[in-house]
């Protein structure tokens, strides 16, 4: 126990009171749930049960955290009391969620408030408070260690506020969102929600939803998004644990709407638009058109690096060292997208290869933000994972053996991914000798080529000479056709995609084993081997464990079946 932290509840100075009051707004049932749930988290709870009677304007939150002793409980709802801060400077130093103690006083003012609590050292107590937060009734109760807060008749003395709020159904939806966000940020907690049973005369409750505790957000997110499995997600943590990233793998999950990029700071979902933009940008060209990523980012930082005053109501904040964070986040996404042992299957790697990769990680070469290394096409690339080309199927798929199963890789888009990344790193225009002659160009096409750095000169009647072309197109017999395609519009990235697609090995092209192996090695070292620049999945993985299930290898039949 840290004895330097003052225990018990302190009365705050006037100055702090105003600061707190500004940020602490109880404006809905969801706000009540959020405040009480965050109090429970601060008390170290691992199980939080919440009952909601939306029609009755009543909420009960029960936790198994550290309870309060009688003395603290009697002061808990007094004005300007909190166990966490004593001066305005403390506000910026608190490591816990916020300045929560004040919420109880607000709740006493806005509703009937009752708290039962029991610390390990004390027996349990039930206290009811008046609207000033003073205890008006105290009795001993037999309860398990922890705290149960009941808030009833919310806004009963302030009917206009009730009338301004959305329907009970919408308030329940808001509560669900609050709990989902808290669960992602605090995966160690099991949440059990109940709501009032339909047509219940006695206001009984029925189970609503449960979120089970997990080792990390990777076990929580699949409970929130149907169709997402833990294996569809890749985690990444910085060595100092200040950055945690959970990324939906682009070949396995994405959304219709850009609604699942969430950023949390110190246990709370917040809005930092600059960081959301970094995430969307880092995942460009990994998803199909009009699909959006699934990503949860959690930063843990000293409170001094956060400025909560940006937009308190919307929880929009400023971060210090923003540029550093942007760089780190882009590097983390980069690391999460690459093929590595944990993103394929933990068991899929023999320990020797695992050691090689871990050694490379420790040396900083793996997941490094510097994208130049490893992209030199002249240096033979060491395979990250042991994929062995076995055969070509329909002159379209490479069948590869892997220690834990087999993979099918579509040759055209795997090569397209390789070329796309090479061209993104090094887009070069080379002279055309002799020039390529194009005809019938519209002024917009000429402008477009010039925007891409490709100069065009008149060359006679409705003919134009082009003397520069992207390097991979220069020697091709369809160079004129390719340049015409580029003249139809789009930015440089679009031109790179078009060039990669045109120059990648076509489906229908026969490949030797050596060529297939070389392509596999290059492809698995790309920054995003999972999807092509149009967002299509590149490979299909058949794990030995699933094959074994399919072939019912656990059946004991007899020697005649070769078992």
Residue ranges in contact with Zn ion by CB under 5 A:
416, 501
Closest C-alpha among 499, 109, 99 to residue 303: 99
Residue that has been written with the tokens 């002061």 in this structure: 75
In the complex with Zn ion, the residue whose CB is nearer, 196 or 416, is 416
Residue 285 beta carbon to Zn ion: minimum distance, rounded to whole angstroms? 13
Report the residue number, 232 or 416, with the smaller CB distance to Zn ion: 416
Q: How near is the Cβ of 395 to Zn ion at its closest, in Å?
A: 15
Half-sphere CA count of 382, side-chain side, radius 13 A: 7
The answer to whether 26 touches 113, Cβ cutoff 8 Å, is: no
Give the 3-state secondary structure of residue 234.
strand
Q: Are strands 47-53 and 190-196 parallel, antiparallel or unpaired?
A: parallel
Residue 318 or 427: which CB sits closer to Zn ion?
427
Residue 277: count of CB within 10 angstroms of its CB:
12
Strand partners, 407: 400, 541
Closest CB to Zn ion among residues 404, 416: 416
Q: Which residues contact 159 (CB under 8 A, 6 or more apart)?
A: none
Q: What are the distances in angstroms from CA 327 to CA 279, 322, 346?
A: 11, 9, 28
Smallest gap from Cβ 500 to Zn ion, in A, equals 7
- C-beta atoms surrounding 445 within 10 Å: 19
Cβ closest to Zn ion, residue 38 vs residue 416? 416
Instruction: Assess contact for 483 and 496: CB atoms under 8 A.
Output: no
Residue 533: CB minimum distance to Zn ion, A: 8
Count, residues in the chain = 563
**Beta strand extents in 95-215 (DSSP E only):** 112-118, 124-129, 135-141, 146-152, 190-196, 205-211
Q: What angle do CA 261, 263, 264 make, to 5 degrees?
A: 145
Helices (H) then strands (E): counts for the chain: 19, 24
Nearer to Zn ion, 224 or 423 (CB): 423
Chain residue whose CB lies nearest Zn ion: 501
Q: Shortest approach of Zn ion to residue 476 CB, angstroms?
A: 15
> Which runs of E-coded beta strand occur in 231-384?
233-237, 243-248, 261-265, 268-270, 295-299, 306-311, 316-319
**Distance of closest approach, residue 164 Cβ to Zn ion, in angstroms:** 54
The dihedral through the CA atoms of 328, 333, 335, 341 has a sign that is positive
Residue 287 CA: distances (Å) to CA of 294, 530, 542 = 11, 10, 22
- At closest approach, how far in Å is the CB of 37 from Zn ion? 49
Residue closer to Zn ion (CB basis): 316 or 485: 485
Bridge pairing between strands 261-265 and 295-299: parallel
Handedness of CA 443, 446, 451, 457 (dihedral sign): negative
Nearer of residues 42 and 416 to Zn ion, judged by Cβ: 416
Residue with tokens 């638009």: 273
For the bound state, the minimum distance from the C-beta of residue 523 to Zn ion, rounded and expressed in Å, comes to 14
SS (H, E, C) 324-361: HHHHHHHHHHHHHHCCCHHHHCHHHCCHHHHHHHHHHH
Between 223 and 286, name the residue whose CB sits nearer to Zn ion.
286
d(CA 344, CA 249): 11
Can you state the angle between helices 217-224 and 168-185, rounded to 10 degrees? 160
Rank residues 195 and 411 by Cβ distance to Zn ion and give the closer one.
411
For Zn ion, the closer of residues 84 and 415 by Cβ is: 415
Least Å from the CB of residue 394 to Zn ion:
17
CB of 416 to Zn ion, least distance (A): 5
**Closer CB to Zn ion, residue 276 or residue 485?**
485
- Label residues 301-331 b or e (16+ Cβ within 10 Å = b): eebebbebebeeeeeebebeeeeebbebbbb
Q: How far is the CB of 337 from Zn ion (least distance, A)?
A: 19
What tokens were used for 522? Answer: 């290059």
Task: Choose between 394 and 559: whose C-beta lies nearer to Zn ion.
Answer: 394
| Residue 21 CB, nearest approach to Zn ion (Å) | 59
Helix ranges (H only) for 225-272 are: none
- Closest approach, Cβ 304 to Zn ion, in A, equals 50
């Amino acid at each position: 126990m840290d004895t330097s932290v003052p225990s018990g509840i302190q009365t705050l100075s006037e100055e702090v009171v105003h600061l707190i009051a500004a940020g602490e707004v109880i404006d809905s049932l969801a706000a009540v749930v959020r405040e009480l749930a965050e109090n429970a988290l601060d008390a170290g709870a691992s199980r939080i049960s919440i009952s909601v009677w939306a029609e009755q304007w009543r909420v009960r939150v029960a936790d198994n955290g550290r309870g309060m002793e009688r003395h603290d409980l009697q002061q808990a709802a007094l004005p300007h009391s909190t166990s966490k801060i004593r001066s305005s400077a403390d506000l910026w130093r608190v490591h816990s969620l916020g300045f929560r103690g004040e919420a109880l006083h607000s709740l006493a003012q806005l509703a009937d408030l009752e708290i039962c609590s029991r610390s390990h050292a004390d027996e349990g107590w039930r206290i009811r408070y008046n609207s000033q937060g003073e205890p008006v009734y105290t009795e001993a109760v037999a309860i398990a260690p922890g705290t149960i807060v009941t808030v009833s008749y919310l806004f009963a003395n302030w009917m206009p506020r009730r009338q301004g709020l959305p329907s009970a159904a919408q308030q329940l939806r808001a509560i669900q969102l609050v709990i989902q966000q808290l669960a992602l940020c605090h995966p160690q907690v099991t949440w059990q929600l109940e709501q009032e049973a339909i047509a219940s005369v006695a206001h009984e409750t029925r189970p609503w939803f449960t979120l089970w505790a997990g080792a990390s957000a990777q076990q929580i997110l699949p409970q929130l998004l149907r169709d997402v499995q833990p294996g569809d997600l890749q985690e990444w943590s910085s060595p100092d644990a200040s950055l945690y990233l959970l990324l939906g793998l682009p070949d396995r999950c994405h959304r219709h709407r850009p609604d699942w990029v969430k950023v949390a700071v110190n246990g709370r979902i917040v809005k930092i638009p600059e960081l959301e933009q970094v995430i969307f940008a880092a995942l460009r060209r990994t998803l199909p058109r009009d699909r959006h990523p699934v990503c949860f980012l959690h930063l843990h930082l000293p409170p001094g690096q956060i400025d909560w005053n940006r937009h308190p109501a919307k929880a929009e904040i400023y971060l210090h060292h923003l540029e550093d964070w942007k760089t780190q986040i882009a590097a983390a996404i980069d690391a999460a997208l690459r093929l590595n042992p944990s993103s394929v299957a933990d068991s899929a790697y023999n320990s020797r290869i695992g050691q090689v990769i871990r050694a490379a990680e420790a040396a900083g070469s793996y997941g490094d933000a510097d994208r130049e290394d490893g992209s030199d096409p002249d240096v033979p690339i060491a395979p990250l994972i042991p994929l062995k080309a076995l055969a070509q199927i329909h002159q379209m798929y490479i069948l590869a053996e892997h220690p834990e199963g087999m993979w099918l890789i579509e040759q055209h888009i795997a090569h397209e991914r390789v070329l796309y990344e090479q061209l993104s790193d090094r887009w070069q225009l080379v002279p055309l000798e002799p020039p390529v002659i194009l005809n019938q160009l519209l002024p917009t096409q000429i402008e477009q080529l010039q925007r891409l750095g490709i100069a065009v000169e008149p060359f006679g009647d409705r003919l134009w000479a082009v003397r520069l072309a992207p390097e991979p197109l220069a020697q091709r017999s369809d160079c004129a056709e390719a340049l015409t395609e580029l003249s139809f519009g789009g930015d440089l990235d679009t031109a790179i995609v078009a060039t990669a697609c045109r120059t990648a090995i076509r489906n229908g092209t026969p490949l030797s084993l050596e060529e297939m192996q070389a392509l596999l090695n290059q492809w698995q070292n790309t920054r995003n081997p999972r999807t092509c620049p149009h967002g299509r999945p590149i490979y299909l993985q058949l794990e030995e464990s699933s094959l074994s299930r399919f072939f019912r290898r656990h059946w004991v039949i007899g020697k005649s079946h070769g078992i």
